[in-house]
């Protein structure tokens, strides 16, 4: 089987932490031809999509040391028509390059994509949870499983929303951030926060010379610190962990200094997974990371969901093996 990974550059991989590397090694160890595809090295020739790929080979594909596997790999450039791929994983960091999605449009019926082109378009931003009607019931407080969220780029309106919040604390974050980048905890009871609202809204809206959308979200107070990362495969949870923020930060993302501990999903968290699972499959989103807090869905990660390494520490059957089992079953 030919498996392509649309991803960040090989040289930027941190072997001890990288989830994509686990998928690559599992694919190579099973004898599949693996190609790395960088978004900026794709092209359309007449009506065909091509990519200048790096084909991966390894002298130690079955080693249990991922750093050894990484060092053992050699990459050979090869200009390959994308139609030759049987499976494509999208593992690039957000935001997704819309040109890449446009290139892939003609291939969606010929290649098995994890995740689908249409699904990525729908869910590669932080608005996706707001489209999930099954997770919110105005008449039943126990089924309000999405925190109060506002998305806008109108400064005046956003200030009105902040003033109207019942609670003092709320989260402000950019639409296309990842790894906890740009996520700020605000507190209306603090004069410092209050005096900074105008400046922060202007900064986020105007960043990069663009008219950017930003997100205001209810801050979820929890008994246990941190959030829950759930990896979903084909609509079902296959692993979870709790991400605990550093002492001097509110963000629990590992890239922001958080650390991970073992976590078993409780009844409410399992209910969120059960409710969202069928919609994920319907949208062609087969490998997804859910971020939960206080039994509510905070974010849906579809571009390059991580956490394999941390979750694998407490699993006998590794995440990447489950994913490749699923892929091989789908593409026979």
pLDDT per residue as tens digits for the range 179-191? 667 888 888 888 7
CATH of residue 23 = 3.40.50.20
Q: Are residues 63 and 108 in the same domain?
A: yes
Instruction: Look at residue 210 and tell me whether its pLDDT is greater than 70.
Output: yes
pLDDT per residue as tens digits for the range 55-68? 999 999 999 999 99
The pLDDT of residue 134: 75
Domain count, the chain: 3
Query: How does the average pLDDT of the chain come out, rounded?
Result: 90
pLDDT per residue as tens digits for the range 128-153? 887 887 787 777 777 788 888 899 99
* Whole-angstrom distance, CA of residue 317 vs CA of residue 270: 20
Exposure letters 271-299 (e unless 16+ CB within 10 A, then b): bbbebbbebbbebbbbbbbbbbbbbbbbb
The answer to whether residue 141 sits within a structural domain is no
Out of 192, 218, 244, a domain closes at 218
Out of 218, 247, 275, a domain closes at 218
Q: Which domain holds residue 21?
A: 2-114
The answer to whether residue 131 sits within a structural domain is no
Q: Are residues 192 and 237 in the same domain?
A: no
pLDDT band at 252 (very low <50, low <70, confident <90, very high): low
* Whole-angstrom distance, CA of residue 20 vs CA of residue 90: 10
* Whole-angstrom distance, CA of residue 287 vs CA of residue 302: 7
* Whole-angstrom distance, CA of residue 77 vs CA of residue 202: 44
Q: Is the peptide bond before 95 cis (omega within 30 degrees of 0)?
A: yes
Residue 230 three-state SS: strand
CATH of residue 288 = 3.30.470.20
| Angle, helix 191-206 to helix 155-164, in steps of 10 degrees | 150
Q: What is the pTM of this model?
A: 0.88
């Amino acid at each position: 089987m030919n498996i392509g990974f649309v991803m960040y550059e090989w040289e930027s991989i941190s072997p001890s932490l990288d989830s994509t590397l686990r998928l690559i090694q599992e694919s190579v160890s099973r004898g599949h031809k693996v190609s790395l595809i960088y978004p900026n090295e794709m092209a359309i020739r007449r009506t065909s999509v091509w990519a200048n790929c790096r084909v991966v080979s390894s002298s130690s594909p079955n080693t249990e040391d991922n750093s050894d596997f990484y060092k053992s790999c050699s990459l050979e450039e090869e200009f390959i028509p994308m139609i030759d791929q049987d499976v494509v994983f999208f593992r690039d960091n957000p935001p997704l390059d819309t040109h890449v999605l446009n290139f892939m449009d003609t291939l969606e019926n010929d290649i098995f994509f994890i995740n689908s082109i249409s699904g990525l378009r729908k869910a590669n931003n932080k608005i996706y949870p707001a489209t999930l009607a099954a997770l919110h019931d105005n008449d039943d407080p126990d089924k309000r499983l999405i925190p109060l969220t506002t998305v806008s780029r109108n400064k005046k309106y956003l200030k009105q929303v902040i003033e109207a919040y019942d609670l003092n604390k709320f989260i402000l974050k950019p639409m296309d951030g990842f790894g906890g980048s740009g996520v700020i905890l605000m507190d209306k009871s603090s004069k410092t926060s209050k005096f900074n609202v105008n400046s922060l809204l202007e900064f986020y809206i105007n960043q990069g010379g663009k008219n950017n959308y930003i997100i205001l979200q209810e801050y979820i107070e929890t008994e246990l610190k941190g959030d829950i990362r759930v990896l979903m495969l084909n609509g079902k949870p296959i692993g979870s962990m709790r991400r605990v923020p550093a002492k001097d930060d509110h963000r629990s993302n590992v890239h922001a200094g958080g650390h991970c501990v073992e976590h078993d999903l409780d009844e409410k968290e399992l209910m969120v997974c059960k409710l969202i699972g069928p919609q994920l499959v319907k949208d062609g989103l087969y490998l997804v990371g859910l971020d939960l807090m206080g039994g509510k869905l905070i974010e849906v990660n579809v571009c390059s969901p991580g956490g394999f390494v941390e979750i694998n520490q407490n699993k006998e059957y590794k995440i990447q093996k489950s994913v490749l089992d699923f892929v091989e079953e789908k593409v026979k």
